[in-house]
């Protein structure tokens, strides 16, 4: 968590109040620090990013490129030698004179192109090679023969004027990627290559970033994991160097010929889209420059390790990427899809119990209560504060919680407190045990690297050293998690600060441990001088009196801060290459890192892992590896259960161990919107268990924003409300209107849990997405290319949230209507009519109402909503059938025990409707005894005189055809399915 405000907004835009309710008091700990880490400890060298540096050298203008020789054909591709085509430029590193090119068709839909140094030794291996032990390398499919199963991708190369390569789509002739017209630059600290792109291109991915879903053509994307909060367009927590490129073509109705269409405006024309993906398997710090007509990749190390996925749909690309490169997402336990509540500022077990009691009082579903760092002894992992969060009281609290089928998840930070060696009372056994395991990161001289995080001066587990040098970080972590579970019966773990974050430059605590415990080098939210004053945009329009008072307070705080600032001219540090050596602390090429110096607010690049690997080469993998370690630690605690982990920093492939939350966002309407493109991007990255801090983490929420946001997040897989220390409370029961809005949306969510769980299971088992962009499901409608204010949950539920302060309507499109798609309103179950292709329709959305629609042609399995997922799972089943224009529909249901890593039994039920007949077909052995309560069929055509289940007529008193809306409702089926809804195959007919 970044706990101080990094984003400044105009006073008129973000106004504050003294508070509608008293904020929780600032947490105190049993070991309050007497010393504060100096603020200048987290100040690095002044660095100017290359992309804005007027003195920067353009590598393309001075570097010679390469020439290819010794080209050899292989069974599935070719190899070649690449040699510098002229004098080395050494512009941002030392040129690598001799390279190797490897081209291989690994599957019918996947092409691999790799360029790496021809000579790599053990001393510089990780400079250029990403070890497969860290990030598996996609392999050629067993038995794949490119001649027997030819690809639609074609690789060609040229030496005119220097080496370049091109990847095109054979079926259309479309050039997907070409380096023609640019020089390949390959140095020990700088790699540059790129491709031209078509006019008005549509690229998606390249996360993690707070940005619109469609990336646009004037954007620089930096890959360097950073603890900076959710700053728009900045590099933040995760790295996912993959993009999808969707191109729209107009189809000639006579010949079928495709013509690229950069600006499709004719809604009557016929279009076809083709999507391909490009994955650059490189974990070094990188930049991707998206410009009007081209994309440029720049990396501070590693190699060029590209994987081209031919598609031609998003679904094809995403599934192939996960199955070949990063792994399929981990399956989650059923309870994790319930509602989660958290905040930084719950001061003790009693306050936590009060929160739980309030949810019960107002009959708002609550599945899981979370603890932020408040519970710790002086912010130290694996130790509860003995006064506020004692183990004895905690055992009683958790016993009651679990008895009610609710759950508990604590935070665990990525840094470990280093106790004061001069103070015996400051003993910290987890540190001592870690030292015995050689578990912590080192300095170049072999001493332990000591940075600073929440508890003061800290050390950092060395996951890389454990993997490659046999040291004990993983064994120690597994042991500590088990030891902590023996005291606190948690149900999952929340990993934070894992970029990895440090509040000072370098090993600042090496000679300062006698000053521990230490306060961070900045004020925490709520401390004097750093009161949480901001409120959402437009707050002054509905709360004028409070806003005026708040504006004065904020102005005073800002003036005080300004008075302490000094203005000096900046002289930037620009390093130059050193022959035969790397400058890892200040690389000659300066990426557009939000913090500037790579060591600011992070472990320094020259920190050394056991065995000699530098942090510079693996920085972006720290968060990935702590998730790996935590996954196996939880398997040790719960050997048969699916580990539940929510982590902050991640890399390509982290989804096979954990979910992700969107980090430290803000209580602003803009961030409610950004949650949608962020979630859609994580669908592409193979991390479907995604959600954001609902109502916003930093600043104060208000009633209107929280009402809207609680409803929007109800349709995200991970649903949690969380906010910062010192801010106003924002639990949904704080405001009457938010209670109503939350309960309305949660009623839908909890009814849809079987559908959501089934959709997520398909993500886990096949790589399909859970949250979906409209453009993915309706790929031939170009006007949906940048649609990121609506989304689909699975293939059947469309959500159109109101994202504008003060609005009572929302504009939305109904995709597919031009080609016959039918949409039904969730609430009144009638079909949407009078809508044309691509039309923006104004939809009523008064406060407390979120428009939700059901797609015709689909069958949705449901159960009754309840206050916990366990209660919901015990309720009768129901089916919501949405007929398409031909009177057909299909669907599926997955059922298991909801928790087992390898279930002993599972159940899949196929649903089909054809010709006024609904059929349920069972596959599997899992026994579910819940009855079928009712079936609702939207789009049913009358007249209907008889309804039968397996040939037995259903009493006319329990079914009804609402002729005005064409909705057939059949109830009372429980008596006909008393042994369980899915025990036997059945058919429901109406005529």
- State the catalytic residues: 496, 499, 664
DSSP-based three-state secondary structure for 442? strand
Spatial separation of the C-alpha atoms in residues 307 and 116, rounded to whole Å: 14
Nearest partner of 26 among 523, 366, 600, judged by Cα: 523
Nearest partner of 298 among 93, 13, 76, judged by Cα: 93
Give, in degrees to the nearest 5, the angle at Cα 506 between 621 and 595.
65
Six-digit token string for 620: 């972006």
Six-digit token string for 754: 């079987």
Spatial separation of the C-alpha atoms in residues 679 and 597, rounded to whole Å: 30
Instruction: Classify 669 in phi/psi space as left (phi over 0), alpha (psi -120 to 50) or beta.
Output: alpha
Spatial separation of the C-alpha atoms in residues 43 and 62, rounded to whole Å: 34
Burial 119-138 (b: 16+ CB within 10 A, else e): ebeeeeebbbbbbeebbeeb
Six-digit token string for 734: 């704080």
| Residue 206 main-chain phi, psi, to 5 deg | 50, 50
DSSP-based three-state secondary structure for 758? helix
DSSP-based three-state secondary structure for 874? coil
| Residue 854 main-chain phi, psi, to 5 deg | -110, 135
Nearest partner of 526 among 498, 564, 557, judged by Cα: 557
- Contact between 633 and 478 under an 8 Å Cβ cutoff? The reply is yes
- Contact between 197 and 174 under an 8 Å Cβ cutoff? The reply is no
- Contact between 655 and 643 under an 8 Å Cβ cutoff? The reply is no
Q: Are strands 368-371 and 407-413 parallel, antiparallel or unpaired?
A: parallel
Nearest partner of 136 among 317, 285, 238, 279, judged by Cα: 279
Give the list of residues 6+ apart from residue 160 with CB closer than 8 angstroms, or none.
none
Run of H or E residues at 354:
helix 349-361
- Contact between 687 and 24 under an 8 Å Cβ cutoff? The reply is no
CA distances from 548 to 15, 553, 555, 653, 863 (A): 8, 9, 11, 49, 48
- Contact between 65 and 162 under an 8 Å Cβ cutoff? The reply is yes
- Contact between 184 and 65 under an 8 Å Cβ cutoff? The reply is yes
The per-residue DSSP string of 459-487 comes to: E-B-HHHHHHH--SHHHHHHHHHHHHHTT
- Contact between 20 and 542 under an 8 Å Cβ cutoff? The reply is no
Number of Cβ atoms within 10 Å of the Cβ of 22: 9
Query: Helices in 362-424 by DSSP H: which ranges?
Result: 391-403
**What is the helix, strand, coil percentage profile of the chain, to 5?**
25, 25, 50
Tell me, rounded to whole angstroms, the distance of Cα 303 from its chain centroid: 26
Residues linked to residue 260 through DSSP beta bridges, in sequence order: 249
Q: How many CA atoms lie within 13 A of 268 on its CB side?
A: 0
Give the list of residues 6+ apart from residue 556 with CB closer than 8 angstroms, or none.
none
- Contact between 878 and 862 under an 8 Å Cβ cutoff? The reply is yes
Spatial separation of the C-alpha atoms in residues 101 and 112, rounded to whole Å: 10
- Contact between 131 and 106 under an 8 Å Cβ cutoff? The reply is no
Report the sign of the C-alpha dihedral through residues 399, 401, 405, 406, in that order: negative
């Amino acid at each position: 968590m970044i706990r101080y405000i990094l984003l400044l907004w105009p006073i008129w835009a973000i106004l504050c109040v003294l508070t509608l309710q008293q904020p929780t008091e600032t947490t105190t700990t049993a070991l309050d620090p007497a010393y504060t880490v100096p603020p200048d400890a987290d100040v690095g060298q002044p660095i100017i990013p290359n992309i804005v540096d007027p003195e920067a050298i353009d590598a393309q203008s001075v570097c010679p490129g390469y020439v290819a020789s010794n080209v050899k054909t292989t069974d599935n591709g070719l190899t070649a030698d690449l040699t510098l085509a002229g004098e080395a430029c050494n512009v941002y590193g030392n040129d690598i004179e001799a390279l190797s090119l490897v081209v291989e068709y690994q599957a019918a839909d996947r092409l691999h192109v790799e360029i790496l140094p021809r000579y790599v030794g053990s001393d510089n291996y990780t400079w250029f090679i990403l070890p497969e032990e860290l990030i598996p390398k996609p392999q050629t499919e067993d038995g794949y023969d490119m001649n027997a199963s030819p690809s639609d991708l074609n690789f060609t190369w040229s030496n005119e004027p220097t080496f370049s390569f091109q990847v095109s789509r054979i079926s259309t002739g479309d050039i997907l990627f070409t380096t023609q017209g640019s020089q390949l630059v390959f140095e020990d600290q700088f790699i540059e290559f790129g491709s031209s792109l078509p006019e008005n291109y549509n690229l998606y991915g390249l996360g993690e970033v707070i940005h619109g879903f469609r990336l646009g053509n004037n954007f620089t994307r930096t890959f360097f994991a950073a603890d900076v909060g959710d700053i728009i367009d900045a590099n933040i927590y995760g790295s996912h160097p993959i993009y999808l490129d969707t191109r729209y073509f107009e189809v000639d109705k006579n010949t079928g010929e495709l013509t690229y269409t950069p600006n499709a405006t004719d809604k009557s024309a016929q279009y076809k889209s083709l999507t391909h993906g490009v994955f650059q398997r490189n974990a070094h710090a990188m930049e991707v420059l998206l410009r009007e007509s081209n994309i440029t990749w720049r990396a501070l190390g590693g190699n060029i390790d590209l994987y081209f996925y031919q598609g031609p749909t998003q679904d094809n690309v995403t599934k192939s990427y996960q199955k070949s490169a990063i792994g399929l997402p981990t399956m989650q336990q059923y309870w994790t899809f319930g509602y989660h509540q958290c905040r930084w500022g719950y001061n003790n077990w009693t306050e936590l119990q009060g929160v739980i009691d309030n949810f019960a009082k107002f009959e708002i579903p609550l599945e899981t209560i979370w603890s932020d760092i408040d519970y710790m002894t002086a912010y130290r992992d694996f130790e509860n504060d003995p006064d506020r969060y004692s183990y004895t009281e905690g055992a009683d609290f958790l016993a009651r919680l679990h008895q009610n089928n609710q759950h508990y998840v604590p935070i665990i930070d990525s840094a470990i407190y280093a106790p004061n060696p001069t103070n015996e009372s400051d003993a910290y056994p987890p540190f001592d045990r870690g030292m015995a395991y050689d578990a912590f990161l080192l300095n170049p001289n072999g001493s332990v690297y000591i940075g600073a995080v929440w508890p003061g001066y800290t050390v950092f587990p060395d996951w890389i050293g454990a993997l490659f040098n046999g040291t004990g970080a993983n064994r120690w972590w597994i042991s500590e998690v088990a030891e902590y579970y023996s005291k606190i019966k948690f149900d999952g773990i929340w990993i934070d600060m894992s970029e990895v974050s440090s509040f000072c430059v370098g090993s600042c605590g090496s000679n300062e441990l006698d000053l521990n415990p230490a306060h961070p080098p900045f004020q925490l939210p709520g401390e004097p001088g750093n009161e949480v004053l901001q409120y959402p945009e437009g707050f002054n329009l509905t709360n004028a009196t409070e806003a005026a008072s708040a504006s004065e307070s904020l102005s005073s705080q800002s003036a005080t801060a300004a008075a302490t600032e000094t203005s000096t001219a900046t002289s930037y540090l620009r390093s130059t290459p050193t022959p035969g050596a790397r400058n890892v602390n200040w690389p000659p090429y300066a990426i557009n890192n939000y913090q500037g110096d790579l060591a600011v607010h992070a472990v320094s690049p020259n920190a050394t892992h056991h065995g000699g690997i530098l942090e510079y080469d693996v920085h972006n993998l720290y968060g990935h590896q702590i998730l790996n370690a935590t996954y196996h630690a939880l398997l040790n605690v719960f050997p048969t259960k699916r580990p539940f982990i929510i982590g902050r920093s991640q890399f390509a492939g982290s989804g096979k161990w954990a979910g992700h939350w969107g980090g430290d966002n803000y209580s602003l309407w803009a961030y409610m919107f950004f949650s949608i493109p962020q979630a859609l991007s994580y669908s592409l990255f193979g991390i479907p268990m995604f959600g954001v801090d609902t109502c916003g983490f930093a600043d104060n929420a208000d009633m209107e924003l929280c009402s809207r946001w609680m409803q929007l997040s109800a349709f995200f897989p991970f649903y949690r409300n969380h906010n910062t220390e010192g801010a106003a409370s924002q639990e949904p029961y704080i405001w009457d209107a938010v209670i109503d809005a939350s309960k309305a949306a949660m009623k839908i969510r909890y009814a849809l849990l079987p559908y959501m769980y089934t959709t997520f299971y398909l993500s886990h088992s096949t790589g399909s997405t859970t949250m979906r962009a409209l453009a993915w499901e309706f790929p031939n409608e170009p006007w949906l290319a940048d649609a990121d204010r609506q989304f689909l949950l699975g293939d059947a539920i469309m959500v159109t949230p109101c994202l504008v302060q003060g609005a009572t309507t929302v504009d939305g499109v109904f995709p597919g209507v031009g080609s016959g798609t039918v949409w039904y309103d969730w609430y009144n179950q009638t079909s949407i009519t009078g809508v044309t292709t691509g039309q923006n329709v104004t939809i009523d959305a008064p406060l407390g109402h979120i428009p939700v629609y059901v797609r015709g042609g689909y069958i949705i399995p449901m159960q009754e909503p309840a206050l916990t997922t366990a209660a919901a799972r015990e309720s009768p089943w129901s089916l919501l059938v949405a007929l398409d224009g031909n009177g057909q529909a299909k669907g599926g249901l997955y059922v298991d025990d909801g928790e087992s890593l390898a279930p002993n039994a599972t159940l899949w039920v196929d649903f089909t409707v054809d010709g006024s007949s609904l059929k349920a077909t069972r596959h599997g052995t899992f026994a579910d005894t819940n009855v079928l309560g009712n079936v609702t069929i939207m789009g049913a055509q009358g007249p209907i005189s008889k309804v039968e289940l397996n040939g037995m007529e259903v009493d006319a008193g329990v079914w009804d055809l609402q002729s005005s809306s064409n909705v057939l409702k059949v109830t009372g089926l429980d008596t006909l399915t008393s042994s369980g809804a899915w025990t036997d195959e059945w058919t429901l007919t109406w005529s």
